[in-house]
Amino acid sequence: MLSAGLAPFAATPMSRELMQWADRVFVMCEREEQHRTLLKMRFPDVDRPVIDLDIEDRWYRGDAELVRRMLKRLVPHLGPPLKPYVE
């Protein structure tokens, strides 16, 4: 699993190569940030499933509540974690 961002300041910017590498792409929040729409506009020729986690993109990395919400929404797509998350 890799992480990339759409913002100009993203540590790892989303690229066509990353979109093509992925078998599916998860976005934080279409409702507030239009992440799915932005991906489809930026890479219209890359056909990958884009799954909206519907989690506001306003958290500090590793925030306990963010981790809880992400795990809850990712489990149906990826299954349970192989080992418990430890901060």
pLDDT digit string (tens) for 26-43?
999 999 899 999 999 999
Q: Does residue 83 form part of some domain?
A: no
Q: Compare 1 and 60 and report the one with higher pLDDT.
A: 60
Q: How many domains does the chain have?
A: 1
pLDDT digit string (tens) for 10-22?
999 999 999 999 9
Round to whole Å and give the CA distance between 58 and 21.
26
Residue 25 is predicted with a pLDDT of 96
Q: Does residue 9 form part of some domain?
A: no
Q: Does residue 85 form part of some domain?
A: no
Q: Which domain holds residue 48?
A: 16-78
Q: Does residue 63 form part of some domain?
A: yes
Two tokens, residue 45: 């020729």
Q: Does residue 8 form part of some domain?
A: no
Round to whole Å and give the CA distance between 57 and 29.
7
